[in-house]
Chain A
Amino acid sequence: MQNLFNFILRYHFLILFILLETLSITFIVNTNSEKEKVLLSSANQISGYFYSHFNFVAEYFSLVEMNEMLSKENAQYRNSFVSAYKANIVMKKEVIDEEYQQQYYYISARVINNSINRQHNYITLDKGKKAGIEVGMAVVTGDGIVGVVRDVSENYASVISLLNTKLGVSVKLKKNGYFGSATWSGNDYTSLLVKEIPNHVPIMIGDSIITSGFSTIFPEGILLGTINKFNQEQGSNFYNISIKLSTNFKTLSYVYVIGDLLKKERLELESVEE
């Protein structure tokens, strides 16, 4: 016992070092375990609270871009007002309620923390469970898609950014509907890689890439970006496509979280097959 005590006393620096590093490594390795999620979501509560109270410091630096984006968005909405159109129709058609059923609803939220310079980037929003946000909802801006809700607490939500190598999105070409999947390469915050589009499909630089709607997360037809580079790898049947993102992740400030009212029904139907 005496010996053990002496040993610990003598090598306490090394022992403590190994202990703390092992702890850190377990944190890194268990990123997706339940325990980690609980830990992170309570940590999220703290950092979320902090960010929402001190965000004005960071916001101050991006006021110009934020104003620009909001006024642009305002213009877009003004364009879609009824008053912006001259009515040419005289005949009025009766609308039956059953023809249109609301499927998606939008919750507006503010970005209180955002990063673009890591391999796994996350975004924190200032709304959570109380506002109706749930895990797995899509996050978009007026320009394009942003990410998927990963975790929610009472008042905050943590979002996996599109700029995260862990996230893949099902996409398709707008002009002919061929579908593939988009992931981030981990380096450039303005571009994304699209794979699995077969190389017999005619594509051109500038073609729009939109969400396919195959997953229950993103509604169909939301813009991701436009093709800015593509090539064919030898021996492969698929293109390597690089697209320029339409969302500017560097100036993200207000986003919309999309809820799907029919998601449950669809998931139930799709799980029957198994």
Chain B
Amino acid sequence: MINIIPSNILRFLTLILFQVLILNNSNLTPLNITPFVFILFILLLPFETPKWLLLILAFIMGIILDIFSDELGKFSFSLVLVAFLRPSVLNLLSSRDGYRKKTLPNLQDYGWKWFLKYSIILIAIHNVSFYFLEAFQLKYLYVTLFKIILNTFFTTLIIYLIQSFMVRNRHA
């Protein structure tokens, strides 16, 4: 339990650095899509995190990402929305006996089926909000929808890979 705070701070910083320095680099990403791997931070916060803290953390992360993308508001709006809906999504996906104590919402504790459902829903929410805010009109509806689907796919894929890599590391 004591480990949770430093490990989350570390994850916060690593994910932001990874996003800003490597993923945002336009030379790397195929098809012009930047996967939004930073959402993993919100996904992996413990079940017991106070709801208000969820919102505050999401907002801080969003503002930092906004600063690095030269326009304020888009990431912070989308991430706060994700943080707001996370408790409801967790409720929706919980099994009959709810979530066990001392577990985290991750691949290791709840299996790939649950984790994929959980991450796809929240990533899709983020992407719908982000890309519609970016387009700000319905003129490019198909392009926007295409971007949302493609990005959700890639982001989920990378987040899943990171998670499965961590599971294997822990077992070894």
Contact = CB atoms under 8 A, between A and B. Distances in A.
B169 interface: no
A57 B67 contact: no
B66 to A, nearest CB: 7
Contact of B76 (A27, A115, A249): A27
Nearest to A66: B27
A160 B55 CA distance: 32
Interface stretch (A40-48, A92-100, A133-141, A174-182): A40-48
B140 A25 contact: no
B55 A20 contact: yes
Interface in B114-157: 133-136, 140, 143
Interface string B58-69: 010010001111
Interface residues of A, number: 44
Contacts of B104: none
Interface residues of B, number: 38
* Most chain A CB within a 10 A radius of its CB, from B21, B28, B34, B135: B21
Binding site secondary structure of chain A: helix
Contact of B77 (A16, A28, A50): A28
A230 B88 CA distance: 50
Given A13-B52, A116-B32, A117-B33, A40 B80 contact: no
Contacts, number: 108
A58 B21 contact: yes
A186 B81 CA distance: 25
A70 B126 CA distance: 40
Given A58-B22, A118-B69, A186-B140, A251 B133 contact: no
Interface string B61-92: 01000111111111011001100100000000
Nearest to B33: A117
Interface of A: 12-13, 16-17, 20-21, 23-28, 31, 36, 39-40, 43-44, 46-47, 50, 54, 57-58, 61-62, 65, 113-120, 122, 124, 158, 186-187, 189, 249-251
